[in-house]
Amino acid sequence: MPTTSPGFTTRRHFLRNSALAAAAASAPALPLFAQPKPDTLQPSPIRLGVASYSLRNFDRVQVIEDLKTLKISTLNAKDVKDHLPITPPEATRQAVADYTATGIRLTAVGAVNFLKDEDDDIRSKFDYARRAGVSVIVASDPAPATLPRIEKLVRQYDIRFAIHNHGPENKFWPSPLNVLKAVGSMDPRMGCCIDVGHCVRAGTDVVEAIYAAGPRLFNMHMKDLTDFTSKESQVAVGDGIIPVRGIFEALIAIKYPGYVDLEYEIHPDDPMPGMIKSFAYMRGMLVGMGYRG
């Protein structure tokens, strides 16, 4: 069980909590006339989570505290800081125990780098996912030539392999469509994680990509941009032009069973105001669609 570090209630944390309160107060809400009555809302088919990379400058204790603030209990955890170490195995297990003790469930690991075409290296990543107790690996940059080797382990471990698209700079996987073309004839547990920001920067319609992926869509990384050609234009979800409602509608239409994980990549030293605003917008959007946010 993690313990709070000394000095947690210092002036720095007081100021930080004050900033979070201000962010929550200023988060967008639906107009009163647009709010359905609570007793008419249906359970949401969209499950919101957090990609731990959003909190990459903070340790596990703070990640847990921040998830409580966000009222999120699911985490796509990455080997960054001490969020979910790959090695040694005991460190992975301790991290899982810390999250479980505080009511947080891991839903995926990643993004995990697959840079070597070697059985031992690839197997170690599947062992990591098994120790974490997850059924999805979000994978970064596996070379196409390694996919048959990976497919064998997908079958052996019964773990889904979600290749993360990384935009026009990436030589293998700029768009989810590149992923789908590569895995289309492979085991159905070979699929994609759609990063909506990188998707639109690659010139791919993100809503169409969701429909194209269908049952091979295993994870979603949510963010927002004000310019579909600029990686640097990221903003809080709802402040940009990513079609959030269209994304939610497409996910509902394909009966997407996974999570929509906020990956907030800006303001790494102070991400919580933007994360709070992003979840407020997404929850408000769901309420406007008739679901409990």
The residue with tokens 């200023």 is 26
Q: Which two tokens stand for residue 166?
A: 């990384």
pLDDT score of 272 more than 70: yes
- At residue 194, what are phi and psi to the nearest 5 degrees? -85, 115
Q: Return the structure tokens found at 126.
A: 């599947």
Query: How far apart, in whole angstroms, are the C-alpha atoms of residue 293 and residue 132?
Result: 28
Judge whether residue 53 has pLDDT over 60: yes
What domains can you pick out in the chain, each with its CATH number? Answer: 43-288 (3.20.20.150)
Q: Which of the pair, 26 or 228, is modelled with greater confidence?
A: 228
- pLDDT over 90 (residue 59): yes
- 134 membership: H or E segment, kind and range: none
What are 71's two structure tokens? 């009222």
The pTM of the whole model exceeds 0.85: yes
Question: Which residue is associated with the tokens 């159905």?
Answer: 188
Q: Decide if 108 contacts 137 (C-beta within 8 A).
A: yes
| Residue 20 pLDDT > 90 | no
Cα–Cα distance measured from residue 202 to residue 157, given in angstroms and rounded to the nearest whole number: 32
DSSP state of 81: T
Q: Which residue has the tokens 């000394």?
A: 6
Q: Please, what is the average pLDDT of the chain?
A: 91
